[in-house]
Amino acid sequence: MNVDVTPTPGPSAMAAEPPEIARVGVIGAGQMGNGIAHVCALAGLDVSLLDTRRDALDRGIATIGRNMDRQVNRTLISAEDKVEALGRIHPGIDYAMFDDCDLVIEAATEKEDIKRTLYKQLIPHLKPACLLASNTSSISITRLGAATDRPEKFIGMHFMNPVPMMKLVEIIRGIATDEPTFQAVQLLAHKLGKITAVAEDFPAFIVNRILVPMINEAVYALYEGVGSVSAIDTSMRLGANHPMGPLELADFIGLDTCLSIMQVLYEGLSDSKYRPCPLLVKYVEAGWLGRKTNRGFYDYTQTPPRPTR
């Protein structure tokens, strides 16, 4: 199933078969990376999972195990499925582990300079036919692809968080992305049980172009004293039927990630309506990044979490 409408490719594009993807590499064992490894392994793919820190890898594998346990308890998968899937995930800290991958998905932090540095370390270890995807939620795919030796095999594959539960994957072609790469990644997303939406290569694509400015506006409402944290979140949950209030959602996403996306929008579109709220900047400067640091717009060291403002 697909919600996008794409132009019919020309004869030369139709003649090229999409490459088969049997082994996937994932860079980054954090929230997004371990989720991507999780769904790939359950779909029967061999997965090489890399992080630069062994402790991050250990936490990532432990998270995958816990999340699969939840799926077993809800009878979404069997205990045997879990054991087999975990057996397909091969963690490591050396880029050489990607030498036989058909696709590598980069799920590093949302900073362009970090991603570019990572690609320089990665590319010498890839076979020529290997495809490369970024899970970036906002950065130009064309620009990232141009920083590699294979822009025609480079594509955006933006999973939603939490990956095992969320059905959508945004697919973003750079200006150089070829048709076989696009088709191969579409087929992979469907194999993972996802629904794809094709987005043009504009800052923040579709979901975050709409979602994160809403969060930023909620932070402005807090900053200007329009309402408290509780009042703003309650209003949007009950008044707009959102499952989470925007400030609770910001904590879930990570305030640093929200700020990075707003900065990409502000710089990329040169429109003052995308100016990051100064209060969001202040929270990030304080290291109050949300759930991952136990403090953001809520204090998660207590149950239930208490608003910090």
Phi-psi map region of 282: left, alpha, beta (phi>0 left; psi -120 to 50 alpha):
alpha
DSSP symbol at 95: G
How far, in Å, CA of 295 to CA of 286, rounded? Answer: 10
- C-alpha 159 chain-centroid distance: 5
Whether the CB-CB separation of 269 and 205 falls below 8 Å is answered with no
Q: Which helix (H) or strand (E) holds 29?
A: none
The per-residue b/e assignment along 162-178, b for 16 or more CB within 10 angstroms, e otherwise, is ebbeeeebbbbbbebbb
Distance CA 169, CA 52 (A): 26
User: In the chain, what are the helix, strand and coil shares in percent, each to the nearest 5?
Assistant: 50, 15, 35
Helix 207-223 / helix 278-285 crossing angle, nearest 10 deg:
90
Closest among 233, 240, 197 to 215, alpha carbons compared: 233
Q: Which pair of tokens denotes residue 79?
A: 């205990």
Strand pairing partners for 105?
Answer: 26, 133
The token duo for 108 is 């590093």
Residues acting as catalytic residues: 137, 158, 170, 208
